[in-house]
Amino acid sequence: MMHWLCVLVQTPAHASLGSVLSYQSAAMLVPGTLVRVPLGRRETLGVVWDADAAGATGELDPGKIKQIAGILEGIAPLSQHWQQLLSFAAQYYQRSVGEVTLAALPPQLRDMSAAQVQRRLKRTAAPSACDHETLLATAPSLTAEQTQVVAQIQVHAGPFLLFGATGSGKTEVYLQCVQTLLEGDPQAQALVMVPEINLTPQLERRFRERFAPRYGAASVVSLHSGMTHPQRLQSWLAAHQGAARIVLGTRMAVFASMPRLQLIVVDEEHDPSYKSGEGARYSARDLAVYRGRLENAKVLLGSATPSLESWHHSRPAEDGGRYLRLHMPSRVGQVDQLPLVRRVDMNHQPRNAVFSVPLLEALRERIARGEQCMVFLNRRGYAPVLHCGDCDWKSVCPHCSAFRVFHKIDRTLRCHHCGFTERVPRACPACGNPDIAPLGRGTERLEEHLAELLCDVRRPHSVNAQCPEGEPVRIARIDADTTRLKGALESQLAAVHAGDVDVLVGTQMIAKGHDFRRITLVAAVNPDGALFSSDFRAPERLFGLLMQAAGRAGRDATLGANAEMWLQTFQPAHPLYAALKRHDYPAFAKQQLIERAQAGLPPFSAQALVRAEAKSQEVAQAFLEAARSAVTSEMAHWEDWAALVAQVTVYPAIPMGIARIANIERAQMLVESPSRTALQQFLNGWQSVLHATRRRPVGKGIIRWAVDVDPLAI
């Protein structure tokens, strides 16, 4: 007898063909089973799905239902919890469940036949030969603050927000919690998420050193997009089969199949890279919290500057808080605490000065003492614009509504949005004036300028035969441009750690996470821009970034006592900087939350964006407006719709901040509600109308459209 199955397959987003298809099978298969199914002329990977949850596909002609092609034997069916997680993610982020589910599986699995999978499994079953020798790293005895926090995590259910200063030993808390878990249960698994694994090789090393000697090298696996497809499959299988006890990964790891998952750690939980920017625009942090509740696993979010959402959720339970806030204010091993924050009032500095006089003086002093400095500017390239003073020509990108950035090293103008690159013209393309000049500055120019200013500075104790006056100061730059090649970042970081660099110049890339031991001075040369941004999250991001950057200074207790963070600003009295000076995140958060509450912004409301792309703004906006007007016209008679619409505001369509990229015009429309549930119900209903609008004449010129739930940038 034949059984009917609902099978999820990967179909292009918004394809008319649903992502749940019907097949027949001789064997009865449980939901979660991985199968190969015919689709058109191809054969593809499918996941047997719960018919109810997927929504039965309706009238079927049994004669036309194809048989599945095979079962991926040896891979246990995905758990029910896993299926629920994926169903929820698809529904919440307004995507098809097939798309989200298949994207959550290792890419290589999609292309392997049942026989290839068999061969692959045989190979992984053999114990890995390179049980390489890692020295057993013994755990330090915990500080009082750490002990207290770990005890709280043992006795409470969570979710927890670990609010700990940079260097307060949060990572050690994660390690302890994982260790307690693994010791107590021989099968338990832990998921540890980090924003960008390439930036935190140290974290990976710490986990390996701690656990590989005890549980074997195979017990710790990584999952991130920097891995090759075979590596990812291997990690995925190890997690799915339970051999991996610890999965370290980036946002994609939130979907790892871990049958014995009991603990989820989200380090730097405020980091925007937990939010996906394509496909299903999910937040891995938010899904981690959902998953924890679903699977009864503890969830531990950690940050020195939590997202305002998580901070708000961790207010006292009496006030409605749902997370337990745990606080570690002190840096490990230091009496004298966090770096001294100094604001330099640039209104009193020479006009156009890039480095103020006192900052330069401070840099010289540090170098002379053999300490390292970090100078931080969140803009790469030489200059953001090239400009002609005669006719006002600017280096606009012909394909985008943005300027092309001047990169001096290869004398190019590069668009950071579409990639369009040209050699720098010899003269102004508009009027022929040979005297075109860079406007503003990026890290490349900053590095060059600093080298000029410090050209007379010598490294201490460096007098030798070749350099009778001592070696010149060493300035290095780390940003997306210097680290394009594989391994470049690692070797540049190693040079900093080895003390081969005196001043490190860079973008936010160097502000995050690194445990630089000898940096004692961090300077932000021009942070003011974000104070006046139209994005309501800009101050939150700036504060987080500056706190992070400050956290790079004085991490070595012996040097930490006189660590400093310098801010050059035209707004020295700004409350954001005042809070930063006191390292007072709670005060900053309080003031921001008051403003957000008054303006009805998240976390006091829920938002979604609908974005559309077309050849012209008119077409993109017309599509959005048609879907918007349907809310009050054709949908008006829907049952219970009026009550729902009363709780939701759909704002008019507008061009996006950067309206055109690579000759495609982009428009967006904001949807907002004080109630997250109402917004969800509204979107669920509206989705079919958006699909229908796309098929109407008004949707004809639309290249792409998507919904972004809980968007990070508006």
Interface residues toward Zn ion, by CB under 5 A: 388, 390-391, 393, 397, 399-400, 415, 417-418, 420, 428, 430-431, 433
d(CA 402, CA 394): 10
Closest approach, Cβ 558 to ligand ADP, in A, equals 13
Residue closer to Zn ion by CB (options 340, 391) is 391
Q: Which two tokens stand for residue 543?
A: 């504060």
Closest approach, Cβ 659 to Zn ion, in A, equals 12
User: Comparing C-alpha atoms, which of 453, 446, 449 is closest to residue 363?
Assistant: 453
User: Comparing C-alpha atoms, which of 706, 612, 688 is closest to residue 18?
Assistant: 688
Q: Which two tokens stand for residue 687?
A: 């989705």
518 SS3 class: coil
d(CA 593, CA 315): 12
Closest approach, Cβ 494 to ligand ADP, in A, equals 17
d(CA 391, CA 164): 53
Residue closer to ligand ADP by CB (options 91, 202) is 202
Examine residue 195 and tell whether it contacts ligand ADP (CB under 6 A): no
Examine residue 140 and tell whether it contacts ligand ADP (CB under 6 A): yes
Examine residue 172 and tell whether it contacts ligand ADP (CB under 6 A): yes
- Give every CB contact of residue 190 below 8 A, 6+ residues apart in sequence: 177, 178, 181, 182, 245, 246, 247, 261, 262, 263, 264, 265
Q: Which two tokens stand for residue 312?
A: 């708000």
Residue type at position 64:
K
Closest approach, Cβ 411 to ligand ADP, in A, equals 41
Examine residue 439 and tell whether it contacts ligand ADP (CB under 6 A): no
User: Comparing C-alpha atoms, which of 63, 56, 59 is closest to residue 6?
Assistant: 56
Examine residue 171 and tell whether it contacts ligand ADP (CB under 6 A): yes
**Contact region with ligand ADP (CB under 6 A), list: 68-76, 159-167, 575-583, 659-667:** 159-167
Residue type at position 69:
A
Angle separating helix axes 229-241 and 114-125, nearest 10 degrees: 70
**Contact region with ligand ADP (CB under 6 A), list: 25-33, 137-145, 362-370, 537-545:** 137-145
**Contact region with ligand ADP (CB under 6 A), list: 118-126, 140-148, 257-265, 695-703:** 140-148
Closest approach, Cβ 146 to ligand ADP, in A, equals 6
Closest approach, Cβ 12 to ligand ADP, in A, equals 41
Residue closer to ligand ADP by CB (options 257, 303) is 303
Q: 159 and 296 in contact (C-beta within 8 Å)? A: no
The enclosing H or E element of 607 equals strand 606-614
Residue closer to ligand ADP by CB (options 516, 682) is 516
Q: Residue 415 binds what, of ligand ADP, Zn ion, none (CB under 5 to 8 Å, by partner type)?
A: Zn ion
Candidates 36, 95, 170, 441: give the one binding ligand ADP (CB under 6 A).
Answer: 170
Q: 98 and 8 in contact (C-beta within 8 Å)? A: yes
Window 32 to 61, contacts with ligand ADP (CB under 6 A) = none
Examine residue 169 and tell whether it contacts ligand ADP (CB under 6 A): yes
CA dihedral 201, 207, 212, 214 (to 10 degrees): 170
Q: 622 and 698 in contact (C-beta within 8 Å)? A: yes
Q: Which two tokens stand for residue 501?
A: 């660099």
d(CA 623, CA 699): 5
Residue closer to ligand ADP by CB (options 332, 368) is 332
426 SS3 class: coil
Residue closer to Zn ion by CB (options 220, 397) is 397
**Contact region with ligand ADP (CB under 6 A), list: 27-35, 142-150, 453-461, 498-506:** 142-150
Residue type at position 167:
G
Q: What is the DSSP string of 258-306?
A: -TTEEEEEEETTT-GGGB--SSS--BHHHHHHHHHHHHT-EEEEEESS-
**Contact region with ligand ADP (CB under 6 A), list: 170-178, 394-402, 529-537, 666-674:** 170-178
Closest approach, Cβ 480 to Zn ion, in A, equals 16
Window 466 to 525, contacts with ligand ADP (CB under 6 A) = 515
Q: Residue 171 binds what, of Zn ion, ligand ADP, none (CB under 5 to 8 Å, by partner type)?
A: ligand ADP
Examine residue 150 and tell whether it contacts ligand ADP (CB under 6 A): no
Q: 583 and 338 in contact (C-beta within 8 Å)? A: yes
Quote helix, strand, coil % in the chain, to nearest 5: 35, 20, 40
d(CA 344, CA 357): 10
308 SS3 class: helix
Q: Residue 428 binds what, of ligand ADP, Zn ion, none (CB under 5 to 8 Å, by partner type)?
A: Zn ion
d(CA 60, CA 22): 9
Residue closer to Zn ion by CB (options 431, 646) is 431
Closest approach, Cβ 426 to Zn ion, in A, equals 12
Closest approach, Cβ 143 to ligand ADP, in A, equals 5
**Contact region with ligand ADP (CB under 6 A), list: 39-47, 138-146, 183-191, 499-507:** 138-146
Closest approach, Cβ 168 to ligand ADP, in A, equals 4
Closest approach, Cβ 271 to Zn ion, in A, equals 27
Contact characters 322-351, ligand ADP, x per CB under 6 A? ----------xx------------------
Distance of CA 116 to the CA centre of its chain: 34
Strands 246-249, 412-414: pairing is: unpaired
Q: Residue 430 binds what, of Zn ion, ligand ADP, none (CB under 5 to 8 Å, by partner type)?
A: Zn ion
Give the count of residues interacting with ligand ADP (CB under 6 A). Answer: 15
Q: Residue 143 binds what, of Zn ion, ligand ADP, none (CB under 5 to 8 Å, by partner type)?
A: ligand ADP
Angle separating helix axes 170-184 and 144-155, nearest 10 degrees: 40
Q: Residue 204 binds what, of ligand ADP, Zn ion, none (CB under 5 to 8 Å, by partner type)?
A: none
Closest approach, Cβ 405 to Zn ion, in A, equals 10
d(CA 581, CA 565): 9
Q: Residue 681 binds what, of ligand ADP, Zn ion, none (CB under 5 to 8 Å, by partner type)?
A: none
Candidates 10, 19, 79, 168: give the one binding ligand ADP (CB under 6 A).
Answer: 168
The enclosing H or E element of 568 equals strand 564-569
Q: Which residues bind ligand ADP (CB under 6 A)?
A: 140, 142-143, 146, 164, 166-172, 332-333, 515
